[in-house]
Structure 1
Amino acid sequence: MLPTFSLPPRFLGGCASDPGTATFCIAGIPFDLGVTNRSGAREGPQAVRRASRMLADGANPAGWSDPAQMSIADLGDFSLALGDIPRSLEMIEQQAAGIGHLLAVGGDHTITLALLRALVKRTGPVGLVHFDAHIDTWPDNFGQKLAHGSPFFHALREGLVDPRRMIQIGIRSPMPREVYDWTVGQGVTIVTAEQVHAQGPQWVAEAIGRVVGEGLTYLSFDIDAIDPGQAPGTGTPEVGGLFTWQVMAILRRLAGLRFVGMDVVEVAPAYDVSEITALAAASILWQYLTLRPLDKL
């Protein structure tokens, strides 16, 4: 086996399975036209792939499953329409539509709307586990209707997500009171970062299980859910966030949920330090694969 630094710059250094037969597919979506603070998440997919090579030399001790030995295809990056948000979302939806179980690497959080549109055509409305510092249900982002602060406003309005089966974890940013009230009024459960710190990973995992239940569920992880002291490479950092050990402990406790797809977004390597943000994102993907998500929809 090659040393990790010599592995190809694909997810886990390999993932050369046939996309037509692979159980899981990885795709980068280098889109960051929807950011409202610092740009640069378009570079996230390649940074996460490079960092993921650190995870290719053994199994996860929590269950002894080894993602590097799974049937995974790295599809490269999706095509986008330069400078055009609506058209880019259409293209993302079209490219995601034919993929069975997709793990997407952003890119900013706007992409999740297109991914959910594609998924729900096959599954019907899904539950949602959403890690983030931000509520992402703003109806408007400085005059732009489609941006990284609004994917779940549209997802809820379009019926892509069952609000009674949607839970947000790590929320702590400033927000308009009316946006918070609208979100909770839809039936969404919000767990703040302070609650995570006070109650612990087991409590959070149990809350997630109660909310999403046994139905099909999507996982969307904005890397700024993690405190910027441990994940500085992101465009809209917020202090007081989750620690990486808490994130991994929560995810490990979600085995058995019926996950049918996921994304990790908002990694902006220009602001990273020693690849720690990219490694955190890669580790979230790696941990997700060891949860044994559904391989058939």
Structure 2
Amino acid sequence: MEEFNGNDQAFTRDSLYGTASEPTYAGVTSFMRRRYSRDLQGVDLVVSGVPFDTATTNRPGTRFGPRAIRTASVTSAWERHYPWEFDPFDHLAVIDYGDCNFDHALPHKIPAAIEAHAEHIVQAGCAMLTLGGDHFISYPLLKAHARKYGALS
């Protein structure tokens, strides 16, 4: 477990590895208290949000999913998870990359923006954990992965 270094580990964390304690009611809510960064050097896993729900009918609101998941994740970010006998953050360098940026007023450009966002991360050799958003976001994400890895099934 990383030594406690105060609040806002999303900005102050020294290492991309390990788990550290921080009060669940305080601090910036990055995913599992991972450091916010756009530097992909040496990163194994990138957590990124796609706050999009325009492809949903009668059930909007999933655009708030990435923020809500990050907020909920801090309640369990302080210790190894039962019943696991290991902490995945001891083995993986993980960052929170923030959210994909796009203009909701230009819906015809959103799929390309999501695809470019994912392609940048994947081409750097990082795996992605993407927080959504509605089901539509899967298509541009899959296209970006297929461009690097070939056909997916």
| TM-score interval for Structure 1 and Structure 2 normalised by the shorter chain | 0.7 to 0.9
Structure 1 residue runs of 5 or longer lacking an equivalent are 127-161, 163-297
Query: Post-superposition shift, 1:63?
Result: 3.4
Structure 2 residue runs of 5 or longer lacking an equivalent are 1-20
Alignment of 1:169-184 (within 5 A): none
Name the SS of the counterpart of 1:9 in structure 2.
coil
- Pick aligned residue for 1:110 from 110, 122, 136: 136
Alignment of 1:86-97 (within 5 A): 86-97=108-119
Query: Post-superposition shift, 1:97?
Result: 0.3
Name the SS of the counterpart of 2:25 in structure 1.
helix
RMSD, matched Cα? 1.8
Query: Is the Cα contact below 8 Å between 2:44 and 2:93 reproduced in 1?
Result: yes
1:78 counterpart = 2:100 = yes
Note the alpha carbon deviations across 1:159-206, whole angstroms, 9 max, x for none: xxx3xxxxxxxxxxxxxxxxxxxxxxxxxxxxxxxxxxxxxxxxxxxx
Distance 1:91 1:82, change over 3 A: same
Alignment of 1:132-281 (within 5 A): 162=153
* Bigger Rg, structure 1 or 2: 1
Which range moved further: 16-25 or 94-103? 16-25
Aligned to 1:122: 148
Partners of 1:125 and 1:64 in 2: CA distance: 35
Aligned to 1:135: none
Note the alpha carbon deviations across 1:274-297, whole angstroms, 9 max, x for none: xxxxxxxxxxxxxxxxxxxxxxxx
Query: Is the Cα contact below 8 Å between 2:36 and 2:98 reproduced in 1?
Result: no
Query: Post-superposition shift, 1:20?
Result: 2.4
Aligned to 1:26: 47
TM-score (normalizing by structure 1): 0.40
Partners of 1:95 and 1:61 in 2: CA distance: 33
Partners of 2:141 and 2:74 in 1: CA distance: 26
Aligned to 1:48: 69
Partners of 1:86 and 1:65 in 2: CA distance: 44
Query: Post-superposition shift, 1:80?
Result: 1.1
Aligned to 1:167: none
- Pick aligned residue for 2:127 from 101, 117, 139: 101
Partners of 1:27 and 1:88 in 2: CA distance: 16
Note the alpha carbon deviations across 1:227-264, whole angstroms, 9 max, x for none: xxxxxxxxxxxxxxxxxxxxxxxxxxxxxxxxxxxxxx
Which letter maps to 1:96?
A
Query: Post-superposition shift, 1:98?
Result: 1.9
Aligned to 1:3: 23
Aligned to 1:61: 82
Distance 1:16 1:31, change over 3 A: closer
Note the alpha carbon deviations across 1:113-155, whole angstroms, 9 max, x for none: 00000000111122xxxxxxxxxxxxxxxxxxxxxxxxxxxxx
Distance 1:2 1:120, change over 3 A: same
Query: Is the Cα contact below 8 Å between 1:31 and 1:108 reproduced in 2?
Result: yes
Partners of 1:84 and 1:64 in 2: CA distance: 47
TM-score (normalizing by structure 2): 0.75
Relative contact order (C-alpha < 8 Å, sep 6+): which is higher? 2
- Pick aligned residue for 1:14 from 25, 34, 43: 34
Name the SS of the counterpart of 1:58 in structure 2.
coil
Partners of 2:24 and 2:87 in 1: CA distance: 15
Which letter maps to 1:25?
V
Note the alpha carbon deviations across 1:37-95, whole angstroms, 9 max, x for none: 22111111111101000121211334323244441111111111223333101011011
